[in-house]
Amino acid sequence: MHKGSNDSNNHELNFKAPERRRGRASNTNVSGRFEPLARVDVDDGWDSLIDLPPLKTEVALEAARHIITRNTSPDIPFDRSINPYRGCEHGCIYCYARPTHAYMGLSPGLDFETRLFAKPNAAKLLRAELMKPGYKVKPIAIGTNTDPYQPIEKTQKIMRSILEVLAELHHPVMITTKSAMVARDIDILAPMAKEKLVNVTLSVTTLDRRLARAMEPRASTPTRRLAAIEALSAQGIPTSVNASPMIPALNDHELEAILQAAHQMGARSAGYILLRMPLEVRDIFKSWLVEHYPGRYRHVLSVLRSMRGGADYDARWGKRMEGTGPFAQVLAKRFKLVTERLGLKTGKPGLRCDRFTGHAASVTQLDLFSGDAKTGANPK
């Protein structure tokens, strides 16, 4: 069907059989915005949709050409990041990275959760990029688009190979994840922490296991995420909690409880982000909300729009993370009060960049030595 069709449901593929998408959050497979046609499943009257097999996770290998992604966004605390994978099996319904799957000709809906891409040459590419003479050291963020510790990391181990390179070259890194699997790499992270080269953030959206199961079905349970904070903190690894996203009338009442629980487990800094619904995420989230919390649908959207200037989403820098208006101000005030009471830091983690031993550092030392040799000067 052409996207210009008047039927508002034609842009979306509806999976009516819950058993087909067991363990998946999205109930649609909306076509990407770059596709000329939209496709829908149609029941032919013989219950053919019910007979279809359950969705399985497919992993394709991607021969990436570059691994460090740059950005100039003024409202995020990093200018470079790494994504070991495309798509994310955690399946968080609210994930603002879903629209990126459209660049692959795939759906930001169920395709984002089930059709994944792994970059097995990530560590090799990273080493090459860090060793370039013109490379300037700043912390690299990992986990900002898709989770580096999603289930396929158990077999792919791409994240671990990346950490091995960063540790070897003493390069600072900021990690964000919803997976307790991050504790697997304590043997790498603990020595990095002693040099102030790492900060790990666990995103905890809710303490309600039932809500978490519906909203982020294949991520670690809230209890396991808190346990990961405890395990990391016990080894001296600076750990943060990100109470995100905050969704009005759904989980925003848990803000204080989430921060309190994480603080008790050893978290020493915190942050939060208001629900973001860019591009296809808007309709995917709304469809999920109708299915799981139909009685709250109007209220959630009403409050959210009051925090977004009357729209479903406001993409302006400085506004997209926290929103505007009275409800947004109250949420920000609550966050400020609880972090001050608990002594949780809210700023950018202080990581060291002067320990880097990549090519740039080697060149500088060689230049100094060469200069001394030519001039006969004694180094001070």
Burial label, 88 (beta-carbon count in 10 A; 0-12, 13-18, 19+)? buried
Read off the pTM: 0.88
Q: Does residue 251 form part of some domain? A: yes
Q: Write down the pLDDT at residue 221.
A: 98
To 5 degrees, how large is the angle CA 225–CA 230–CA 231? 95
Q: Does residue 372 form part of some domain? A: no
Structure-token match 């955690």, residue found = 90
Least confident of 52-61, 126-135, 187-196, 275-284: 52-61
pLDDT band at 45 (very low <50, low <70, confident <90, very high): low
- The range of the structural domain enclosing residue 172 comes to 56-345
Q: Does residue 46 form part of some domain? A: no
Q: Write down the pLDDT at residue 31.
A: 86
Q: Write down the pLDDT at residue 326.
A: 97
DSSP 25-68: --SB-PPPTT-SB-------SS-TTTTSPPP--EEEE---S--E
Which phi and psi angles does 154 have, rounded to 5°?
-60, -40
Which phi and psi angles does 172 have, rounded to 5°?
-70, 145
> 208 pLDDT exceeds 70?
yes
Q: Does residue 29 form part of some domain? A: no
pLDDT tens, residue by residue, 284-297: 999 999 999 999 99
Structure-token match 């208001």, residue found = 274
Q: Write down the pLDDT at residue 238.
A: 98
Q: Which residues pair with 58 in a beta bridge?
A: 115
Q: Does residue 75 form part of some domain? A: yes
How far is Cα 39 from Cα 245, in angstroms, rounded to an integer? 30
Are the beta carbons of 163 and 185 closer than 8 angstroms?
yes
pLDDT tens, residue by residue, 297-334: 999 999 999 999 999 999 999 999 999 999 999 999 99
The better pLDDT of the pair 16, 270 is held by 270
Number of separate domains in the chain: 1
Q: Does residue 10 form part of some domain? A: no
Which residues have CB under 8 Å from 91's CB, separation 6+?
Answer: 23, 24, 25, 26, 112, 113, 216, 217, 218, 219
pLDDT band at 363 (very low <50, low <70, confident <90, very high): very low
Strands 198-203 and 173-177: parallel
Least confident of 5-14, 64-73, 216-225: 5-14
Which helix (H) or strand (E) segment is 116 a member of?
A: strand 115-118
Report the side by side order of strands in the sheet with 239-246: 68-70, 80-82, 140-142, 173-177, 198-203, 239-246, 269-274
Q: Does residue 230 form part of some domain? A: yes
% of the chain beyond a pLDDT of 90: 79
pLDDT tens, residue by residue, 252-262: 999 999 999 99
Q: Does residue 356 form part of some domain? A: no
pLDDT tens, residue by residue, 75-116: 899 999 999 999 999 999 999 999 999 999 999 999 999 999
CATH number at residue 286: 3.80.30.30
Are the beta carbons of 136 and 77 closer than 8 angstroms?
no
Q: Is the peptide bond before 245 cis (omega within 30 degrees of 0)?
A: yes
Q: Write down the pLDDT at residue 47.
A: 60
Q: Which residues pair with 239 in a beta bridge?
A: 200
Mean pLDDT of the chain: 89
How many CB atoms sit inside 10 A of residue 153's CB?
23
The better pLDDT of the pair 218, 362 is held by 218
